[in-house]
Amino acid sequence: MLKEYFWLAMNSLKKRRLRAYLTMLGIVMGITAVVALISLGQGMQYAIEQQFFRLGADKLTIQTKGVVTGPPGSNSDVMLTKGDLRVIQRAQGVAIAAGSLVEPITVRFNSKDKYLYVTTLPSDPQERDVVVQTRDYTIIQGRMLKSSDQYSALVSQSYIDSPKFGSKALSLGDKVLVQNQSVTIIGVFKSTGNPFTDMSFVMNEDPVRKLLGIPEKYSVIVAQVSPGYNVTLAAQNIEKDLRRYRNVKEGQEDFEVQSSQDLLKTFGTVLSIVTAVLVGIAAISLLVGGVGIMNTMYTAVLERRREIGVMKAIGARNRDVLIIFLIESGLLGLVGGAVGILIGMGLSKLVEIIATLALGTTLIQANFPWYLILGALLFSFLAGSLAGTFPALQASRLPPVEALRQ
């Protein structure tokens, strides 16, 4: 019986194709926006999770609190120092701790100036390894910085693959002016997908301190927890020792100690809020689409009163008429949802490609989990069915004699 209901609904929609297409527009736009936004949000969340997995579950990041307008620690009211690093290195549960500078610089190449950031590597080999692992530097051309290198730098492959300074891309061995000091590019690391890391120049700590006149400051400190030691307990030990050293009371800390999981939760919460707001805005289109379906179905009831009367006269029950109209409105929503899903997938993929080419980042990527596609189809079908409920009820309750008079 359902098969017959389905074909009756399909034939009805085919007879009114233009109206059906126009009715579906609202659903198409709403589902397009929802699928595109959620897929990009899911893709970004996955990419961020991968970044934090690289950081490692046994790593702790120590930064200052305060108003930050750039990367962590680059423009804060307070700062970490070499003294803080020594305290962290002595904290119970810490195997190795390393500090790094993250500072704005001026880079000149091909007669073009760019305002970028420099990140530093410490001179101690073990500390250097911790920073390299944390930032996922994988050399694909040239070599890694040595402790003895002075005015040498690493750049990401994004600088080699596309021109960043006018019409010219950097090459291995090129010399650039960093704060008016000649610096040689000796190595290229694979793009990490993190826009900040991929756009930063990497240099040794000592020459950067000389260039910028920063003798004590650290922007961020990374601590590796001893094997088998509880990460949370190690973080508490660091906080306790730093409070004593910096002479601050508990609850009034001017620093923060975060694990990779803490950072991931923070990013996840912010991303979820942003996605929810955007999806809420997109849902307005779905509401408009639902109103359009309801209007179309009311019009169909008025136009097909005689047809309804004939169906009832030959034995159709109220329930049969109700189901036919509900299937019809549900199909409007379902087809609109399917078209919206395809367009949404295409748009989000286009955004991913543009972001990769223009920004050189893999953080913006589209992800299409099965539950997103199935959920969007189910939601669009339910939205159409619900929008058609009242018109379907009106059609099912029409008295046969009154309907046949039309």
Which residue among 259, 285, 307 closes a domain? 259
The H-assigned helical ranges of 91-135 are 125-135
One domain for residues 271 and 255: no
| Short-list 197, 253, 260, CA closest to 224 | 260
One domain for residues 130 and 59: yes
CB–CB of 31/336 below 8 Å? Answer: yes
Q: Would you report the helix, strand and coil content of the chain in percent, each value rounded to 5?
A: 55, 20, 25
CB–CB of 330/385 below 8 Å? Answer: yes
Kindly state the greatest CA–CA separation across the chain.
Answer: 99
Q: Tell me, what's the pLDDT at 69?
A: 40
Q: What is the pTM of this model?
A: 0.62
Which residue among 259, 277, 299 closes a domain? 259
One domain for residues 235 and 100: yes
Q: Which residues fall within 8 angstroms of residue 365, CB to CB, at 6 or more apart?
A: 40, 43, 44, 46, 47, 352, 355
Which residue among 218, 241, 259 closes a domain? 259
CA-to-CA distance for 80 and 61, rounded, in angstroms?
12
Q: Tell me, what's the pLDDT at 67?
A: 39
CA angle 151, 153, 158 (to 5 degrees): 155
pLDDT by position in tens, the chain (length 406) = 556 656 666 666 666 667 777 777 777 888 888 888 888 877 777 776 666 666 667 888 899 886 344 455 554 567 899 999 999 999 999 999 999 999 999 999 988 999 999 999 999 999 999 899 888 888 999 999 998 999 999 999 889 888 888 888 899 999 999 999 999 999 999 887 777 888 899 999 999 999 999 999 999 999 999 988 888 899 999 999 999 999 998 888 889 988 877 766 766 677 777 777 767 776 776 677 777 777 777 776 666 666 666 676 777 677 777 777 778 788 888 888 899 899 989 998 898 888 777 666 666 778 888 888 888 888 888 888 887 777 777 767 766 656 556 5
One domain for residues 228 and 284: no
Q: Tell me, what's the pLDDT at 210?
A: 93
Q: Give φ, ψ of 111 to 5 degrees.
A: 65, 20
Element (H, E) at 38: helix 17-55
One domain for residues 199 and 274: no
DSSP lists the bridge partners of residue 221 as: 62, 99
The three state secondary structure string of 366-383 is CCCCHHHHHHHHHHHHHH
One domain for residues 70 and 26: no
CA R_g for the chain: 31
One domain for residues 317 and 351: yes
Q: Tell me, what's the pLDDT at 141?
A: 92
One domain for residues 7 and 145: no
Provide the 8-state DSSP code for 165: B
Reported in sequence order, the residue ranges of 123-259 that DSSP labels E, i.e. its strands, are: 139-142, 152-156, 175-178, 181-189, 201-204, 217-218, 220-225, 255-259
Q: Tell me, what's the pLDDT at 33?
A: 82
CB–CB of 327/5 below 8 Å? Answer: yes
Domain that holds residue 146: 55-259
The H-assigned helical ranges of 190-259 are 195-199, 205-212, 231-246
One domain for residues 26 and 149: no
One domain for residues 66 and 34: no
Number of domains in the chain: 2
DSSP lists the bridge partners of residue 201 as: 118
One domain for residues 177 and 121: yes
One domain for residues 284 and 212: no
Q: Tell me, what's the pLDDT at 355?
A: 77
